[in-house]
Amino acid sequence: MFDKNAVAKKPPMGWNSYDYYDTTVTEKDVRVNAEYMAAHLKPYGYEYIVIDIQWSDPNAGKNRPKEQYINFSHLCLDEYSRQIPAENRFPSSRNGAGFKPLSDYIHSLGLKFGIHIMRGIPRYAAHTHMKLKGTDVTADQIANPFSISKWNGDMYGVLHDRPGAQEYYNSLFELYAQWGVDFVKVDDICNTNMYEKNPYSAEKEIEMIHRAIAACGRPMVLSLSPGPAVIEKAWHLEKYANMWRITDDFWDDWRLLKAMFERCEVWQKHVSEGCFPDCDMLPVGRLGKGFMNERSTKFTWDEQKTMMTLWCMFRSPLMIGADLPQLDKATLELLTNRDVLYLATDCHGARQVSQDSEHAVWTCRDNNRNNYIALFNLSDTEAEIEASLEDIGVSEIHFLEDLWEHQIVDPQQKPSKTGKISAIVPPHGVALYRTTYGDGRLCQNQ
């Protein structure tokens, strides 16, 4: 019995090439990032190395800064309308090897390998009536000329009720299984924003991809982009996918981070084993080279802690956007705080306690009777953020540990007396606490 949840019992953690390399990532870039991960991040649970968009376009990035994607570029295709890596960028893919050699190398480091695809079939294949594997029909017979992406001109959607449609998707995942792919990020599928009145228009393509993964015999995480996902379709996403983006692309901009609280509010009840609403990559460290906008993250340290706290408590997947080899020590520590990562990996029941434009409070718990409370300051000035024990759902608190500062909070502030937990929090910052019933222990996961 195929269980799509088995491959992602906890939120997937890893690295994605997009935030730094945009469409231009090469085999060499992937290897050095994987090597860094194996050395520095794997012990903390990070394991996926994901190659993002446009790996089949030999000219990707050449029209920068005018255009992100090259309209009508001739993508590298095999005889069955399937995209294959551009050899000039991924030399080991020569002679039909595809991503197999690179994937093997990633696996040899103890990591897992992921790729990005756009839903659908190349437009060029449809217009030139190319063949499909495992069926007599041709690409034009399954392509939908009215199903396009709003932002990338490569593909047409696939008509699910046409003979050959499922066979086409099966042929894709058969190939990806041969390559050793562990993770597929499918794009223009979660919110097909070209179609404003029907953003979930690719529903049937999600089902075809789900079946193709089941059929290919290799477990793969199914990640859907872009957001915002449609909350009314939560049941369908939970049934067929492992993670789905709940926002449009996320970047190092406070307004986007602040808006994420509203998205997490909406999706808080929909997090479970194999089902992870996705807040998108963590835009920390060095970013933007492929976009011709290379920089260090514009987030302040407080904002970065706010982000890590929210992502972990909400149990979003944790995909690092930075160029890993350039990570500084502080950012590495931010990403490897065991106490904070523990929220993502071992806690549950996260819920928003209160929220307005100035603040948010979240809480979750672990299996050891500990509660976790995050007090977020969403305003632009330092403020006292508080939550009542009643709202948090605990009757008394013996010890309170600050998980970012790694210290036990001053007993003078014992909340049992006031019925509240509160903290002075810097602008855009967070105070994150663990409460314990028994004897306090300092930051057990350090």
| Among the listed residues 143, 260, 312, 324, the single contact to a copy of itself using CB under 8 A | 143
| Among the listed residues 9, 28, 94, 150, the single contact to a copy of itself using CB under 8 A | 150
For residue 124, state whether it binds a copy of itself (rule: CB under 8 A). yes
Strand partners, 138: 131
Residue type at position 49: I
| Among the listed residues 77, 137, 215, 231, the single contact to a copy of itself using CB under 8 A | 231
Site string for a copy of itself, 380-409 (x = CB under 8 A): ---------xx----x--------------
**Residue 195 burial (10 A CB sphere; 0-12, 13-18, 19+):** middle
Tokens 């001739």 belong to residue: 74
For residue 299, state whether it binds a copy of itself (rule: CB under 8 A). no
Residue 80's φ and ψ, nearest 5 degrees, are -105, 30
User: Rg of the Cα trace of the chain?
Assistant: 23
- Tokens, residue 285: 């460290």
Site string for a copy of itself, 347-366 (x = CB under 8 A): ----xx--------------
Kindly tell me which of 129 and 295 has the beta carbon lying closer to a copy of itself: 129
Site string for a copy of itself, 304-343 (x = CB under 8 A): ----------------------------------------
Residue 391's contacts (CB-CB under 8 Å, 6 or more residues apart) are 353, 354, 361
Q: Round to whole Å and give the CA distance between 309 and 338.
A: 12
- Tokens, residue 16: 């994605």
**Residue 262 burial (10 A CB sphere; 0-12, 13-18, 19+):** middle
| Among the listed residues 118, 148, 246, 343, the single contact to a copy of itself using CB under 8 A | 148
- Tokens, residue 299: 């987030």
| Among the listed residues 66, 71, 161, 381, the single contact to a copy of itself using CB under 8 A | 71
Query: Which residues within the stretch 25-54 sit at the binding site for a copy of itself (CB under 8 A)?
Result: none
For residue 234, state whether it binds a copy of itself (rule: CB under 8 A). yes
Strand partners, 365: 348, 371
- Tokens, residue 281: 């990559």
User: Cβ 78 to a copy of itself, closest distance in Å?
Assistant: 18
Q: Give the footprint of a copy of itself on this chain (CB under 8 A).
A: 1-2, 71-72, 123-124, 126-129, 140, 143-146, 148, 150-151, 153, 194, 196-197, 231-232, 234-235, 265-266, 268-270, 351-352, 389-390, 395
